[in-house]
Homo-oligomer: A and B are copies of this chain.
Amino acid sequence: MRALVVEDDARIASDLGTALQSVGFRVESCADGEEAWFLGDTEDYDLVVLDLGLPQVDGLTVLKRWRGNGRDMPVLVLTARGAWTERVEGIDAGADDYLPKPFRMEELVARARALVRRSAGRGSALQEAGDLVVDTNRMSVSLRGVPMSVTALEYRLLAYLMLHRDRIIAPGELLEHLYGDEDAREANALEAVITRLRRKLGPGILGTRRGFGYFLEPPEPNA
């Protein structure tokens, strides 16, 4: 999961970053609206946490621009306390959820995860695809009801494929998701993870489309 934190208060931004990281997000952040607008428009995030009071360009303006350009990632807006009018404007601008400042980090995390799940079209902590079940609470995976042990990296890979099980994920996107671009790895690192995962999962689960990327096989209609 890739998250963008747009927040000009360095301390809050840092807290947000660590909180989101601790539940599996890879977090990037920026402090002003201009950069936020650029990043949100060019990069692909699974979640954006957006503070409204920003230097240069107001958060609401940024949000409107994104939506105007057809960007539909879930956006969680941080509003000032009691700023009732901001909420209404936020709704119009296309925010997905709100949190008044100051807020509890746990609540933000809970809402963030709910947003991501909702945006993927599922509401449960248990995500299923065919024989595969991923429990985001226990961070565990089970296959045909049998729990299996996966490493941290394997888990993140599986969870990401699970969330986007309706499309094919390019290797570059997976590398981006697993490592980020600051400490990038060779493509072979990803292939190694895939191989190890397949050894555990068995055939017919994790598929490849040569030249395109990886995907989770749809459940068998028979049996």
Contact with B along A22-64 (1 / 0, CB 8 A): 1100000000000000100111100000000000000000000
User: Does the CB pair A22–B139 fall under 8 Å?
Assistant: no
Could you tell me the distance in whole angstroms from the C-beta of A88 to the nearest C-beta in chain B? 17
Identical copies in the complex: 2
- B residues within 8 A CB of A210? 151-152
**Which one of A116-124, A164-172, A189-197, A198-206 is at the B interface?**
A164-172
Interface residues of A in 170-223 (CB under 8 A from B): 170, 172-173, 209-212, 215
Q: Is the interface of A mostly helix, strand, loop or mixed?
A: loop
Which of A's residues lie within 8 Å of B, judged by CB? 18, 22-23, 38, 41-44, 69-71, 100, 102-107, 137-139, 151-153, 155, 166-168, 170, 172-173, 209-212, 215
User: Does the CB pair A209–B139 fall under 8 Å?
Assistant: yes
CA distance A210 to B139 in the complex (A): 11
- B residues within 8 A CB of A18? 172
CA distance A167 to B22 in the complex (A): 14
